Amino acid sequence: MPNATKKVTQLKSELETARQRIAALEALDAERMRTEQALRVRDELMLLFVQYAPAAIAMFDRNMRYLSVSHRWLEDFGLAGQDVLGRDHYQVFPNVPERWKEIHRRCLAGAVERSEEDVFEWPDGSRQWLKWEVRPWSEASGAIGGIIIFCEDITARKKAELALKESEERYRILFESSHAIKLLVDPDTGEIVDANPAACAYYGYTLEEMRKINVERVCILPHEELLAKMVQAQDPTQNRFESRHRLASGEVRDVEIASDTVFLKGKKLLYAIIQDISERKHMQEVMIQTEKMMSIGGLAAGMAHEINNPLSAIIQSVQVVQSRLTKDSPTNLAAAAVAGCPFENIRAFLERREVFTLLQGVRDASSRAARIVSSMLEFSRKSESVRAPTDINALLDKAVELCANDYDLKKKYDFRNIVITRDFDASMPPVPCTATQIEQVVVNLLRNSAQAMSGNTERGDRPEIHLKTAHEEGMARIEVRDNGPGMDEASKKRLFEPFFTTKGPGEGTGLGLSVSYFIIAENHKGTIDVDSAPGKGSTFTIRLPLA
């Protein structure tokens, strides 16, 4: 009995152990089933994620067969509506580059590959730019089950970048090859960002120097005012404005600026096209001056004719009075006897009362007025003198000789104390002109220079006049240059106006240069210009046609 009891107890113990093992196995099986279920759910979720992801994603097994693919993948690669699941990737895309196949093999071995930019060429020759990443995915066992490819089609962005680059290259070619003066200016700082070769040549700076300076360095206007005008000039109704620019040499030129806004690498810049209009401005001033002189010339001629008659009567009457009071003619003596006063006493009385001096003063003033009237008549009178070939060099020598005895005690200048230098073109051909008129112009210029230098005593330089002749492009050029005080812009603009003078009262009529202008421009179809600045003397340039 005891043995039987012991055996029953042992059997119960073994049965309990078996039950425990069965329970453990059932628990393990349930856990396995839950795990398998979780893995299935995970795989299904991953497949769904891939399928409905907004990006281009494809999931492959180890044999590069499609397991899942996103709608975006199908659209980007032209596979919309096609069933690619289970198919070989290299059969779907037979033109996959070998380098990409090598990347797939490395990723199946555990590597992760990515590219920020790559290009895929289709059989028809078109190109597609891609940004991609390839990484492996693992099975439940931990083994690599295949790869996932993430793609982003960047073709539109790349084409835009290429188009922008091409546009910038075209802009650079047009910018640099243009003969127009062009600048790019930072509107915030006024710094010159870029300048084309034409601008560098015009301003006299290298490109490196141009890029280091402010626009105020070349523009007379403060850069705030200039930039405001450039912004305003973008209005199609006001797309141009005038300014004055300073070259590296210090020369100031008149310019016209057209402006627009451009964006370069995301930066807003002001694009300026600049045209030198100095010659045009000069021609406008000449035209205005000519029109003004023509209108004033007609007025002067009318005034001169009206003044000439009473003036002639005054001069004639003064001459008669002087003759009757000074000459011992029988008629004068007889008239004095009838009046009961000896003629000598009458003359002595008039001399004591300085009547003769007063009469001479009236006569001198009348003669001066007659010269003014004669000058005024030059404005409307065409030259009747016959032009003849003239040696200009000899004519200048004669003009200097005429001025050699010219002196003015009141102004304290003596032409003989002025240094005259000559630079004559010995090959100058004869110039067809009216010699007396050209001589009159040159003498007038020489006297003006002498008078101007007489008041320029502060510098201490010895007064000097330089005469030069040259032959240029069918014209004879005559230069009269002095080292006098020069003149400002305001005086230069009015210099050839009738009755304009910088001399003091009673020292000039203001008609000398006006008459000179008409002699050169109207009678000889030439030009007369002046180049002058305060403290730098004056240079008058006459050009006469040789034909």
pLDDT at 102: 93
Instruction: Please tell me what DSSP assigns to residue 219.
Output: B
What φ, ψ does residue 55 adopt, rounded to 5°? -95, 170
Please provide the DSSP assignment of 24-61 as one string: HHHHHHHHHHHHHHHHHHHHHHHHHHHHH-SSEEEEEE
pLDDT over threshold 60, residue 365: yes
What is the average per-residue pLDDT within 289-297? 60
- Note whether 479 and 538 are within 8 A (CB): no
- Residue 61: the pLDDT is 92
Q: How far apart are CA 138 and CA 161, in angstroms?
A: 38
- Residue 428's contacts (CB-CB under 8 Å, 6 or more residues apart) are 391, 392, 393, 469, 470, 471, 476
Give residue 213's pLDDT band: very low, low, confident or very high (50, 70, 90). confident
CB 449, CB 482: distance < 8 Å? yes
Confidence of residue 379 (pLDDT cuts 50, 70, 90): very low
Eight-state DSSP code of residue 136: E
| Mean pLDDT, all residues of the chain | 78
Q: Is the pLDDT score of 466 beyond 90?
A: yes
Residue ranges of the alpha helices (H) in 220-354? 223-232, 278-326, 330-338, 343-352
What residues does 257 pair with on adjacent strands?
241, 274
What's the CA gap between 518 and 298, in Å, rounded? 13
Cα dihedral sign, 347-348-354-357: positive
The residue assigned the tokens 């020759």 is 125
Query: Regarding predicted confidence, which is higher, 414 or 153?
Result: 153
State the Cα–Cα distance between residues 498 and 451, nearest whole angstrom: 19
Structure tokens at 138: 């693992």
> Residue type at 195?
A
**Is residue 366 over pLDDT 60?**
yes
| pLDDT of residue 471 exceeding 70 | yes
Give the strand pairing for 475-482 and 56-61. Answer: unpaired
Mean pLDDT throughout 469-486? Answer: 90
User: For the ranges 94-108, 129-143, 230-244, 476-490, which has the lowest average pLDDT?
Assistant: 230-244
Q: Does position 404 have pLDDT exceeding 80, yes or no?
A: no
pLDDT band at 545 (very low <50, low <70, confident <90, very high): very high
Q: Are 151 and 73 in contact (CB under 8 A)?
A: yes
Bridge-based pairing state of the strands 475-482 and 407-408: unpaired
pLDDT of 55 above 70: yes
pLDDT value of residue 172: 67
Half-sphere exposure of 249 (CA within 13 A, CB side): 8
**Cα–Cα distance measured from residue 183 to residue 181, given in angstroms and rounded to the nearest whole number:** 7
For residue 507, pLDDT beyond 90? no
Are 444 and 371 in contact by the 8 Å Cβ rule? The answer is no
Contact 440, 519 (CB under 8 A): yes
Residue 30 has pLDDT above 50, yes or no: yes
Q: Is the pTM of this model over 0.75?
A: no
Give the rounded percent of residues in the chain with a pLDDT score beyond 70. 73
Q: Pairing relation of β-strands 407-408 and 413-414?
A: antiparallel
Cβ partners under 8 Å of residue 261, min gap 6 = 231, 234, 268, 269, 270, 271
Q: Which two three-digit tokens encode residue 390?
A: 């003239």
User: What's the pLDDT score for residue 383?
Assistant: 47
Q: Give the model's pLDDT for residue 353.
A: 82
What confidence category does residue 394 fall into, taking pLDDT thresholds of 50, 70 and 90? very high
- Does pLDDT of 130 surpass 80? yes
Looking at residue 409, its pLDDT comes to 39
Mean pLDDT confidence for 158-177: 71
CA-based R_g, the chain, Å: 52
Taking alpha carbons only, the member of 423, 434, 432 closest to residue 470 is: 423
Helix, strand, coil content of the chain in percent (nearest 5)? 50, 25, 25
pLDDT of res. 410: 43
Confidence of residue 105 (pLDDT cuts 50, 70, 90): very high
* Buried b or exposed e, range 234-257, using 16+ CB within 10 angstroms: eeeeeeebebebeebeeeebbbeb
Distance of alpha carbon 194 from alpha carbon 210, whole angstroms = 7
Helix H or strand E segment including 141: none
CB 293, CB 496: distance < 8 Å: yes
CA 179 to chain centre: 12
Q: What is the pLDDT of residue 451?
A: 81
The Cα 380–Cα 475 span in angstroms is: 26
CB neighbour class for 149 (10 Å; exposed up to 12, middle 13-18, buried from 19): buried
- Determine the residue type at 535: G
- Sorting pLDDT into bands at 50, 70 and 90, what band is 543? very high
CA distance linking residue 493 with residue 488, whole number of Å: 9
- Structure confidence at residue 469 (pLDDT): 94
Q: Is the pLDDT of residue 264 over 80?
A: no
Q: Residue 257 belongs to what H/E stretch?
A: strand 252-264
- Give the three-class secondary structure for 155: helix
Residue 387 has pLDDT above 60, yes or no: yes
pLDDT over 80 at 44, yes or no: no
How would residue 111 be classed by pLDDT, with cut points 50, 70 and 90?
very high
Q: Which of 310-314, 425-429, 471-475 has the lowest mean pLDDT?
A: 310-314
